[in-house]
Amino acid sequence: MTASLLADGLIAAGSSEEADLVVVNTCAFIEAAREESIEVVLGLSASRKDGAKVVATGCMAQRYGDELADALPEVDAVIGFEGAPSIAGAVGMAVSQPVTLRSKPKGVRDLLELSRPKSSTPWAYLKVAEGCDRACAFCAIPTFRGKQRSRGMDSILHEAGELVRGGVRELVLVAQDLAWYGRDIDRPGDLAPLLREVDALRIDGLDRVRLLYLYPSEVRDPLISTMLELETVVAYFDLSLQHASRPLLARMKRWGSAQQFLAFISDIRAQQPDAAFRSSFICGFPGETEGMHQEMLEFLDAAQLDWAGFFAYSREADTTAANLDGEIDAMLIRERLSELHSVQEPITAAGRAALIGTTVSVLIDGIDDDGMTVGRTFREAPEIDGIVRVDHDPETAFAFGAIVDAIVTGCEGPDLFASAIRSVRAR
């Protein structure tokens, strides 16, 4: 979206308070995401400078445009994905302030094809496909994002090269269904060859490649063997499991069972004992019995995932689950969520504590509110997992993008404290 606005001739402001135009990309995935989107819109509206316009766009604007416009009078325009030549053009029309547009880059198919602007962090998301071919019963994404459209490998590699040569050390590959990459362009199984090509960018300074959102049926060779073999691809497995009960997963129209999940997790650990695992789960899907919930708790105990997110089931329009019987009472969902957290939290905490005394490789990517240098090892994905706070000699200021060896000295919640030994590679 940023790339589209830049391509149309707009100039990025230093902060939302300085901007003439604030564009909020909303999310409509579940109730909690919609609430957060509204909070962000309200917060940015309140802090904008005099005369600045606020525009809500993205999935929530697409799905609930009229309701959103009625509910948020502070917003100057609500713009979905369709019916406009570009976001900037639509913004100009919507706020009655024509925006001077440059000509669109040639050959652009949709937003997926626009290169991102230079990253301000030493890591960057790299989108390899848009849309989804699956039909999970709880999910409305395919209804508004459409079928999967994979980017051509050349386009991805071009963007990856530009990002790496611009200072990015970690590329985070994303798509709604990442391991399905290539199927829609008659190239099933193309993620492994893509990884090999991206891995070659290490000679330009790429240090890590991280994969997010792996649908569990695709967690198999050659993808796994390629991930474990390549130097830059980290052993971080972000699995989209959603539940552990086979009958409930079948009701969700998803693949898998606790047994199948545990089998591939243990297989990966046998090859790479240090591998990190994350997954997210839905609690209170219609028809979830006490027995299914117990199975979920037992699965967490057996799987010992490093990270897990739990979400209350949210009934979404235009999904098959919206018409299912067996709705679970909201109070019971809250109880079950709390049980899930109470099983997982000690597992995550024990995993963090076990790292104390070990040497880790930290990609420096920020400064926290107390002025402390922070970064991430391969175990922490940006913006979702914990971070590593790095203590170092005040004379040695580590630049963003430096890779630092550090000894873990402690932990607090999801975060680690570490003491720098040396900078392995400065940038």
Q: Does 139 bind ligand SF4 (CB under 6 A)?
A: yes
Q: Among 28, 141, 175, 275, which residue sits at the site for ligand SF4 (rule: CB under 6 A)?
A: 141
Shortest distance (Å) from residue 177 CB to ligand SF4: 5
For strand 123-127 and strand 170-174, is the pairing parallel, antiparallel, or unpaired? parallel
Of 26, 33, 31, 111, nearest to 69 (Cα)? 26
- Sketch the per residue contact string, 197 through 236, with ligand SF4: x for CB under 6 A, - otherwise: ------------------x---------------------
Q: By C-beta, is 139 or 276 nearer to ligand SF4?
A: 139
Residues 144-203 close enough to bind ligand SF4 by CB under 6 A: 176-177
Find the part of the chain contacting ligand SF4 (CB under 6 A) among 114-122, 135-143, 278-286, 379-387: 135-143
d(CA 210, CA 27): 23
Q: Does 134 bind ligand SF4 (CB under 6 A)?
A: yes
CB atoms within 10 A of CB 32: 12
Shortest distance (Å) from residue 427 CB to ligand SF4: 35
Shortest distance (Å) from residue 145 CB to ligand SF4: 8
Question: Contact at 8 Å (CB) between 358 and 406?
Answer: no
d(CA 235, CA 306): 12
Q: Does 137 bind ligand SF4 (CB under 6 A)?
A: no
Q: By C-beta, is 128 or 390 nearer to ligand SF4?
A: 128
Shortest distance (Å) from residue 141 CB to ligand SF4: 4
Q: Among 5, 75, 114, 132, which residue sits at the site for ligand SF4 (rule: CB under 6 A)?
A: 132
Cα three-residue angle 131-183-313, rounded to 5 degrees: 40
Q: By C-beta, is 185 or 372 nearer to ligand SF4?
A: 185
CB atoms within 10 A of CB 218: 19
Q: Does 136 bind ligand SF4 (CB under 6 A)?
A: yes
Shortest distance (Å) from residue 123 CB to ligand SF4: 23
Q: Does 64 bind ligand SF4 (CB under 6 A)?
A: no
Q: Does 252 bind ligand SF4 (CB under 6 A)?
A: no
- Sketch the per residue contact string, 92 through 131, with ligand SF4: x for CB under 6 A, - otherwise: ----------------------------------------
Binding site for ligand SF4 (CB under 6 A): 132, 134, 136, 139, 141-142, 176-177, 215
